[in-house]
Structure 1
Amino acid sequence: MTAHLRTALTDLVGIEHPIVQTGMGWVAGPSLVAATAAAGGLGILASATMTFAELEAAIAKTKAHTSKPFGVNLRADATDAAERIDLLIRTKVAVASFALAPKQDLIAKLKDAGVVVIPSVGAAKHAVKVASWGADAVIVQGGEGGGHTGPVATTLLLPSVLDAVDIPVVAAGGFFDGRGLAAALAYGAAGVAMGTRFLLTQESTVPDAVKQEYLSRQLHDTVVSLKVDGMPHRVLNTELVQRLEHSGRWRGLAAALANAARFQKMTGMKWSTLVRDGLAMRKTAGLSWSQAVMAANTPMLLRAGLVEGNTRAGVLAAGQVTGIIEDLPTCQELIDRIVTDAVARIQAVGALADRANSAAGNSE
């Protein structure tokens, strides 16, 4: 029987274990999310790469495979964000997570409907802001994490956020085993969130050949690139990434426009919608025009690698933990062993304190 760790996160969401599977674009679909939920963790669907109809179908499919709580990751700056929030409320999704902070009124609407709101943040000041707006918890990702990331390591970013807010804080960036969970809890976090570790599970729909590419890499084999979409993006260091790194600005913009056309054709979105989303992203994230255009690269470059398995034409978002992961367990096996190991680590540390107290008592 798997041990349990009760934290503010498990109480808040109603899950068994303080482990979150992040909403990775093209990866976090119904199969992975349902498996994570069934194993007692919090699975989060990635909706940024889904049309509204696809998200609606994904929620229904996930609910068909599990009755346990799960979440949906949303883009707060999406033009149809309000409609997607209504969908979450209507279908009784347990958690709404956000990559960019949602407006205060959207948080209030979700909370009034009983939906737990957990934005992701990259700095203590952002955690303070969303906490003041009513967010129930935050996920804080250090620079070790994959995808869009910041420059500060988890070991420094996490305590800075914990000191700044009094809502539950979930640690992300560099976590993959029980040692990490025990360490995060020791810092004062309410749990851990993992992306790359869940990408490398049996229920992940990433092609097997791509998973093997990840498993073959070492700790030094990721790079933070600005050439993928104009923002710091941690990815596997591939030939394509190296070409992007050495490409000129205009070539990057041309590629971004071409990828935007491919994304528009694939999703059926109107050009006016894509333009409005780009304008919203530019305003919300403070991007330049060239960065906003380059952001069109992300969905298609990630899709080529993570869905189509074309590592020559696609980008593979990856946390630094890629270099230390060696297997492809089921979500159940992964969560069970992380929690079991974390409990053992916590008990071992407690035994150190007991021995110290005993020794002090004997010396008196």
Structure 2
Amino acid sequence: MSRIQTSVTRLLGVRSPIVAAPMAGASTVRLALEASRGGGFGFTAAGYGDAQMLHSDLQVARTVSSVEMRHGLPIGVGFLGWQLDQQPSALDMLRTVRNSDVQAVWFAFGKDLGRWINHVRELDSHADDGRKTIIFVQVNSLREALVAVHEWKVDVLVAQGIESGGHGNGSAPSTFTLVSSILSALPHSGPPVLAAGGLANGTHAAAYLTLGCAGAVFGTRFLLTPESLYTDAQKAALISAGPESTVRTMAFDQARGTLGWPNGVDGRAIRNETVADVEAGVDMQEVKKKFQEAVNGGDPTRMLVWAGEGVHLMREIKGAKVLVEEIHSEMVLALESAGLLVQHD
């Protein structure tokens, strides 16, 4: 497998600048490990869990990991900032990550992410192994990016555009515009910037590398793996989705009671009857009842299926390791082809 060298591959010690995003309710340590086995870097999601759940997951990861652990456990853990703010065991969760030798953490959607970043750095400073936890922060605007770089001194910026599946800021620009704005505002010595939102294949990722990104984050594409927690019905809905199947909405958070997101945040998912009912003003108790029945019965006409705008380009279920290798090969081919466009007289 050809190696693609960028600032993020050097930072993480990996062969490919492909990152599997942390997705609450979908990512698993197995998915993360398989993505890392494929040469990229995988994240699992702490999501709505607690310290005990996270400890159990990471113990499993350490037991089954078949990837070289020179730099720590070769995966990352993603945290929702607003959930940490409400979680009594938040500090224990961060200690669990540090004590499990997890290589990286990812923070998103919080009113005070700097607080949690400082806690991670304090844990690093009190450890005697000299290892530094790599800190990823997801941003949806240039303003957030500048705060993350200049105030929090983060190690990696994830620039998430409006096309992204799952949660994001509903007023975010396109991924291309956001990435361009961030790259033009940062010095060359700034942290690696990863593109996230709407990516479906290696050609997309290669385009962002030529723009100046150090790598690319894939979310929806990793939902279509045996290692994700998505059900067969949810995966079937992804495979059958068209180019206009997704919508940004808070309907599913209302239906399942996962409220508390920062102002301006909503989520992109497959449009279905749950969204239609909320938009039509159907009584919320009725919406919740029908939603839960759909979840219990595996009914895709009402269940939640997060998906980015590139979902219509995804038509197969493949293992996360194989998927990383495939996307990487597509990236290499696209970059080599782009190089042939330049001719010197």
Q: TM-score range by the shorter chain?
A: 0.7 to 0.9
- Secondary structure of 2:251's counterpart equals coil
Once the two structures are superposed, the pairs formed by residues 25-174 of structure 1 within 5 Å of their partners are 25-66=24-65, 67-68=67-68, 69-77=74-82, 78=84, 79=87, 80-100=89-109, 101-103=113-115, 105-109=118-122, 112=125, 114-132=132-150, 133-150=152-169, 151=171, 152-165=173-186, 166-174=190-198
The answer on whether the counterparts of 2:200 and 2:311 sit within 8 Å (CA) in structure 1 is no
In 2, Cα distance between equivalents of 1:233 and 1:324: 20
In structure 2, what residue type is equivalent to 1:53?
Q
Question: Taking structure 1 as reference, are residues 36 and 110 closer, same or farther at Cα in structure 2, changes over 3 Å only?
Answer: farther
Alpha-carbon distance in structure 1 between the residues aligned to 2:292 and 2:55 = 22
Matches within 5 A, 1:156-305: 156-165=177-186, 166-229=190-253, 231-247=265-281, 251-252=283-284
Contact 1:302–1:316 under 8 Å retained in 2: no
**CA shift at 1:310, angstroms?**
4.2
RMSD: 2.4
Q: Which amino acid aligns with 2:281?
A: S
Higher-strand-fraction structure: 2
Count of aligned pairs: 309
- The answer as to whether partners of 2:233 and 2:299 remain within 8 angstroms in 1 is no
Residue identity over aligned pairs, in percent, reads 26
Instruction: Measure, in 2, the Cα distance between the counterparts of 1:247 and 1:311.
Output: 21
Q: Distance in 2 between matches of 1:135 and 1:198?
A: 25
2: CA distance, partners of 1:141 / 1:308? 33
Q: CA deviation at 1:326?
A: 1.1
Shift in Å, 1:340:
1.3
Structure with greater Cα Rg: 1
**Deviation for aligned residue 1:31:** 2.2
Distance 1:308 1:124 in 2: 42
Residue type of the partner of 2:132? G
* SS class of match (2:58): helix
1:338 maps to 2:327: yes
Give 2:17's aligned residue.
Answer: 18
Aligned to 1:8: 7
Deviations 1:325-357 (A, max 9, x none): 11112222211121112111111111111x2x1
| TM-score relative to the length of structure 2 | 0.83
Tell me the equivalent position of 1:287: none
In 2, are the aligned partners of 1:302 and 1:317 still within 8 Å (CA)? no
- Amino acid aligned to 1:73: G
Q: Find the counterpart in structure 2 of residue 280 from structure 1.
A: none
Quote the residue 1:264 is aligned against.
none
Distance across 2 between alignment mates of 1:240 and 1:127? 34
Q: What is the CA-CA distance between 1:228 and the residue it aligns to?
A: 3.3
Contact 1:22–1:195 (8 Å) recurs in 2: yes
Q: What is the SS of the residue equivalent to 2:248?
A: strand
- C-alpha separation in 2, matches of 1:12 and 1:147: 27
Opposite residue 87 of structure 1, the aligned amino acid is T
Unaligned runs of 5+ in 2: 69-73, 126-130, 254-258, 260-264
Residue 339 of structure 2, aligned match among 327, 346, 350: 350
Question: What letter matches 1:245 in structure 2?
Answer: E
Q: CA deviation at 1:246?
A: 1.9
Aligned-partner Cα distance in 2 for 1:134–1:108: 11
SS state of the match for residue 54, structure 1? helix
Instruction: After TM superposition, give the deviation of residue 64 of structure 1 in Å.
Output: 2.0
Equivalents in 2 of 1:130, 1:110: separation in Å? Answer: 19
CA change 1:28–1:214 in 2 (3 A) is same
- Structure 1 contact 228–244 (Cα < 8 Å) conserved: no
Q: CA deviation at 1:304?
A: 7.1
